[in-house]
Chains A and B, each alone.
Chain A
């Protein structure tokens, strides 16, 4: 006898519908899975055998053939256990289905005693199923909350194979998982008001956040570069629901969703260690998985001690910084993950860290220093819009009593949100959302300079020997500063401030 059950499979972060065909015939007992299944699916045979027996059914002593369609695409994942087991039960005539199988999909991994345990990537798979017209999904209880985020699909959680089979035969109803509840509040992050003094870098951070610009901080150890980096995610505007789903899908694929917190509602902040490999940053592995650049999608990727990262690792950043996505090619296939993050990097000006410090002498030789900063390639520096040098605060600034009240994250975020709103309005209908994403052509359209600004730009060109790329960079940042000021046109003061965020030649000559 023949049976067909629907399930899904992941390709990158896109879920696609997959059919499980099962045929049970008389013949020498055997169990074959065809249709480019990977090792974890082929091993499913053993789990399914035990799970069916331990759920109180007899395992058919017949010739069983399982085909996964479309047969020409590679498939992987342990969530094929449940649909295959249901298919075997149906095809051997042990179940009498009372529900419409064409509108129902099954996802879930089986344990040997017949319970259904959680799987990875359920959210994107359910999104894919919903798009192809599937109305109902049976998922593991562990993934129910995550799957319920998708609108237009009934999500039913089955705890065991027995329960799923009983539901199919109409003996029992399964509880529908309610759609995700209210958004949880932004987690309490460290606040900018914790940082005393350092007005220049705080302002730079606000500008960077307002236009989603990359930012590089250079300064001696202990001045607060990491503090600023960690507080940056907190001044970004909240994610929209569409963005939340985008980010959650990536985390679902990476298996990084925490139970009880199905939807990622706040901007990700990723701070990978500098010893990481390029595959960990970009994504990879024999079966590609999203890396840090994708996990930081719509959020902040913070790279502390930038020159300590291997050159090879850093070069990985170039594609996602240009395109907002990253393509990984492996023997098992090619996939593209979204990776539109805000890069925030910090570095010392030299190995000892005190080059240019007014009090503490630097112990590095000139050539050592050049070698150290030279580890960050020019093309990468070129793609970072905002550069800012930090210095040590004086005692008066650090000691809390005498210090003037420091600007708080909430205040900074207010400006950022207003500026982002202006940008969304302006770029409606275009494929970009922020000033950082402007292409040179769009810069010509949106970043017009009046004659007074042209004069300044001309003077700056010769004074600072700007390149064509840095010219565009200055214009983009000036646009953001004008947005922060709520101004429709770029004014002289906006352009001048933007010029202050170019690469400090002192460190990179």
Chain B
């Protein structure tokens, strides 16, 4: 409020006022999922003996090392939980830091809202500082929620505090990346893309480092979180300090740069483009591909790379499993051999990327309406069903293309590393499941446009079921709400033909609901 604080209070209040729902969703969603995981693990591995078994089997399972990270201290409740929760925390926490900073800084700057705010006595840094404080506060709340959960289950307070702090530190690094990238790029989408790219590289580097046990992992902020080893005997604080130091450096660099640049400007300036649109761009599919193409290509390449990198580890997985009879026994209990089990898990990962790509297309379609462009489009001789049909096709077929690229990348790498698992057939059998969540988005857009963003909740649900549904001991019907789970664990199991048929029908119905809904409703709504 005072001038001396250069409008920081104004910016803070505004961000809390306009963003509290999003903040609450992140904090409650993450703490809730974490608490559910702790409860489920505590039920399944209730005694020290059971925990020790976990450590000797799952803990030594290289599949886990690749996907969730090296499970340090996996003979304690905290260690087992941080391993089971490892994939979710590795994706969700960085995204939280990245997205929360961007939505209150570059995004309003891009749309011009910051200009109005800055015309009051609010300094250039104030919105960024406020966003960092809000994001930091939300990360601390997540950490406190995790700490409280662990304390409620009698986990050692120091260990639990180190774990919670390392999680907050991981988020801080990506908040820092958003702060620095936010000075260099003009578009919020560009900042997010850079952050996601860094996250992808960090994930692969951490996985490669964990499977091959190399120093590569130290390039990865994810490893800095993991390597505090909070629940192991050799717990240490310095990797956390490394994370916090890097975060502070990134934030400082960003805050210095923001004081030196013009509002709305960036290092990369806009450049002129063609004065005429060709025949293709002027067509419905052409414009739709232009809008979604870059995103879909990035997802396709990303899925192929992730599939490829994880596929290469198949060989190592086999070696380690052969050397460890306990793990071997665990694997065969799940059905099939270790390599197949591992490949099936990796396939789910790339397929979730494909679903995410499709969902992203659908949310962009909704933005055509909220941004006012749909009104302009439909005031021309463009049929509603044709327009939405085109975009829905891009969403569904695009997601399928990402899935096939990821499945193919995985398959090629598995074969190259001496494995014999057919990922491509499995991917094709999963295609209706890949289409399901984007199709739900299309249905919502047509019938309940203001609820379109609920499609992210559906995506989150499917991801939780696929990644930790079994660990959470969810009931079968809840698991089968995920179309992937309903079809079966592929490759390995046989796909349920009945489930494939049901999921396909649901997809068609949802798409029809979307098309008919848009034809019947007001635009804009």
Whether chains A and B associate is no
Chain A: residues with CB nearer than 8 A to chain B? none
